[in-house]
Structure 1
Amino acid sequence: MDLGESGERQISWAARSMPVLTAIGERFARERPLDGLRIAACLHVTAETAVLMGALKAGGAEIALAASNPLSTQDDVAEALRTYGVAVHARAGVDRATYYRHIDQALDIGPDLVLDDGCDLVNTLHTERTDLLPGVSGGCEETTTGIIRLRQMAAEEALRFPVVAVNDTRTKRMFDNRYGTGQSTLDGIMRATNAMLAGRTVVVAGFGFCGRGVAERAKGLGARVVVTEIDAVKALDATLQGYEVRPMAEAAAVGDLFITVTGNRDVVRAEHLAAMKDGAILANAGHFDVEIDVRALDDLAVEVHRGVRPSTDEYVLADGRRLLLLAEGRLVNLTAAEGHPAAVMDMSFSAQALAVAWLARERRRLAPGVYDVPEEIDHEVARLKLAATGISIDTLTADQEAYLHSWRVGS
């Protein structure tokens, strides 16, 4: 079949598990909250993203889309989106220069609003395309790494428009970061290696919401999990949940599988690589390919065997030890697998869609900075998801409501 037909089937399959976003798209088609607005987006070009693009387009937006990671782009989905009228500038496997050229092409739309996943589009706006900044009145950021960069921009008073931190909602951190990242990361690792995790030592670098999800899934498969952290509170949390906590310098010698989930660079460095076992597997689940020092791995290797398995490269060191790098050090869940299940992205992208509509309405009143998603949006997404799955919850009685809002009633 041609690419467009294949992409259409992928999108239709994803939409089956995305009832909340589908309902929001139908509402947008009636209310048209984005009429006349141009949106430039830098997101993973997947079937789930296509459902989001459909909802925003139903709301009246004109959209240009670039990829936030060239290895996650699904070319058939990109082609199907073009037939929907979305200007897609993305192709699987492009080099760094082409990746940024695609972002530049998406910005040529002259956006009113921007959607980002990792802050590369916003960064390009503030460095290379400053001519477009006066027309941009707001944006949304999807991932932890991007929020870190945006908050630094805001602290330095460099950010020129308001950005909603979609990543920081309770529903996204719980459902997407914890359960989605946990499942999809191990899915990618097992597709790439066919490794058995039971009885193996898995080192998880970072115990935020994503790292917690990875650790839980690995433990559930029978692995012994070691956590590395720089945050004392998170390290204590990991300890109290039964995980062994060590610095990476110690964990490097005992791990069979290393998974980085920090949002920072050089988490696994040359001195760690030099201490690892023969056959150790290296995987990154952080947004950018900087968490594992791949250049150091190249320098240590005397031979490199590309593609020993899908998305798996073998690095042979001078003493004969072999280290296996997955997905070139990029996001393993989106490179070696298909990313989060559609049911997970239903909630994340529903929050994104509602945040875009809120931003379109409120953007003129907001000063430049990073804003939390309004709590009512988070609750609406959770309520809609429960309704879609047929789950009911209790509601407060009048007496309970009064009790919670009064300080005069004692014990």
Structure 2
Amino acid sequence: MSTGKLKIDWAAQYMPVLASIKKQFEKDKPFKGMTIGMALHVEAKTANLVQTLAAGGAKVYITGCNPLSTQDDVAAALNEVKNVHCYAKRGCTVDEYYAAIEQVLDAAPSITIDDGMDLIHYLHTKRRELLKKVIGGCEETTTGIHRLRAMAAEKKLEFPVVAVNDTPMKRFFDNVHGTGESALSSIMITTNTLIAGKYLVVAGYGYCGRGLAQKAHGLGAKVVVTEVDPRRALEAHMDGYHVMTMDQAAEIGDIFVTTTGNTSVIGKDHFGKLKAGAILANAGHFNVEIDIAWLAKHADSTVERDGIITYILKGKPVHVLAEGRLVNLATPKGMGHPIEVMDLSFALQALCARYIAEQGDSLKGGVYDVPQEIDEQVARLKLASLGLSIDELSAAQKKYQCSWDIGT
């Protein structure tokens, strides 16, 4: 058995929610006659989502959504699955990256599933002749949702897209626990350095930043949070973390992790203030949060190790992990989010894809929330897989909850 298939099978045993959905899809064939185009991180957990969609009757065409996040052996194993075509490869150039997106779109997908919105962007800008064939899509991550909402605000989004990232079951588990654990795991395994006792700077206190701060604090780090939103900054302060500007944090931080989805969060104004040996990592989607171009231009020299580029700035080393790309996947040993977390996220993706297959033709172009019943269904399936039970409202409680005329 190939190493890729072994990885896929290993992940499958920890994905009971997706497995139950796959059984239902095998019976119902919700995607019969449909083509699904995907741009996701191609690794073992994603492969189980792909197999679930194929089991539902879809022809699936997939490529990567990050040049460094593909596991080549998993990509090869996917190409052995009936009705699946994978074009992803690790370490591709920008031209190769978009050529693979072209190959996915050549299949004229009915449904798109994106992580970062590159597939949808390319459809709307380069392959507009295919738009009329698309029923709708799903988007996995915060950065992609930001881009989609900006596109929708300008009335440029021409088909419905479900914001899978923005539903509670995604934010509370994938973003908080998934990003928090996997980013720190990759930093530790890549650098072999200690977290405890160090100043760890988290840029951005959204769901990903909160999870990262929580997990780092649990490992004994002295956590610093930088923010632009006064409410989130106050929340971080009340949660027990140091809150300051990046200018201030640059002088004391040992490890920096960006989670904002924005550009130049750590840039030219900060590099000169960093300690010798500061470690910089990005847990956002694109490689724009750390100004790598400035470092490359102004460094006296560079030293490259596995997953680390050291820039020497006036004799001072600054270490950047994974080329400033998604640290939990783009480092050589990065495995991405824990399997059990992605079981929930990919269960949402599978059910939202079915929702688009069934309802997409009746929806206008725009960004749509995950239907609450889908979010709750995934939670209930997970509880059942854990052998856990919860209470139900009585008829009297339901009546009370919906009333307005019952007082003290």
TM range (shorter): over 0.9
Return the match for 1:144 from 139, 142, 145.
142
1:211 CA drift (Å): 0.4
Instruction: Give me the whole-angstrom Cα distance separating, in 2, the residues matched to 1:407 and 1:331.
Output: 49
Instruction: Give me the whole-angstrom Cα distance separating, in 2, the residues matched to 1:401 and 1:92.
Output: 53
Instruction: Show the 5 A alignment for 1:63-82.
Output: 63-82=60-79
- What corresponds to 2:391 in structure 1? 394
Asked if 1:335 corresponds to 2:330, the answer is yes
Asked if 1:404 corresponds to 2:401, the answer is yes
**TM-align CA RMSD:** 0.8
- What corresponds to 1:174 in structure 2? 172
Partner of 2:50: helix, strand, or coil?
A: helix
- What corresponds to 2:227 in structure 1? 229
Instruction: Give me the whole-angstrom Cα distance separating, in 1, the residues matched to 2:330 and 2:317.
Output: 22
Partner of 2:276: helix, strand, or coil?
A: coil
Instruction: Give me the whole-angstrom Cα distance separating, in 2, the residues matched to 1:157 and 1:79.
Output: 39
1:161 CA drift (Å): 0.4
Q: Which runs of 5+ in 1 are unaligned?
A: none
Instruction: Give me the whole-angstrom Cα distance separating, in 2, the residues matched to 1:64 and 1:135.
Output: 15
Letter in 2 for 1:78: A
Return the match for 2:308 from 303, 309, 312.
312
Spell out, residue by residue over 1:200-237, the C-alpha distance to the aligned partner (whole angstroms, 9 max, x if none): 00110000000000011111111101100011110010
1:410 CA drift (Å): 1.6
Letter in 2 for 1:57: A
Asked if 1:41 corresponds to 2:38, the answer is yes
Asked if 1:25 corresponds to 2:19, the answer is no
Instruction: Show the 5 A alignment for 1:274-293.
Output: 274-293=272-291
Instruction: Show the 5 A alignment for 1:53-92.
Output: 53-85=50-82, 86-92=84-90
Instruction: Give me the whole-angstrom Cα distance separating, in 2, the residues matched to 1:299 and 1:198.
Output: 33
- What corresponds to 1:115 in structure 2? 113
Q: Which runs of 5+ in 2 are unaligned?
A: none
Spell out, residue by residue over 1:66-90, the C-alpha distance to the aligned partner (whole angstroms, 9 max, x if none): 1001211011111111110311011
Instruction: Give me the whole-angstrom Cα distance separating, in 1, the residues matched to 2:393 and 2:125.
Output: 51
- What corresponds to 1:130 in structure 2? 128
Moved over 2 A (4+): none
Instruction: Give me the whole-angstrom Cα distance separating, in 2, the residues matched to 1:203 and 1:323.
Output: 15
- What corresponds to 1:101 in structure 2? 99
Letter in 2 for 1:125: L
Letter in 2 for 1:303: S
Spell out, residue by residue over 1:74-115, the C-alpha distance to the aligned partner (whole angstroms, 9 max, x if none): 111111111103110111111111001001101110111111
TM-score where L is the length of structure 1: 0.98
TM-score where L is the length of structure 2: 0.98
Letter in 1 for 2:329: L
Instruction: Give me the whole-angstrom Cα distance separating, in 1, the residues matched to 2:284 and 2:182.
Output: 12
Partner of 2:368: helix, strand, or coil?
A: strand
Instruction: Give me the whole-angstrom Cα distance separating, in 2, the residues matched to 1:333 and 1:30.
Output: 35
Instruction: Give me the whole-angstrom Cα distance separating, in 2, the residues matched to 1:341 and 1:203.
Output: 23
1:300 CA drift (Å): 2.5
Instruction: Give me the whole-angstrom Cα distance separating, in 2, the residues matched to 1:36 and 1:342.
Output: 30
Instruction: Give me the whole-angstrom Cα distance separating, in 2, the residues matched to 1:229 and 1:133.
Output: 38
Instruction: Give me the whole-angstrom Cα distance separating, in 2, the residues matched to 1:231 and 1:219.
Output: 22
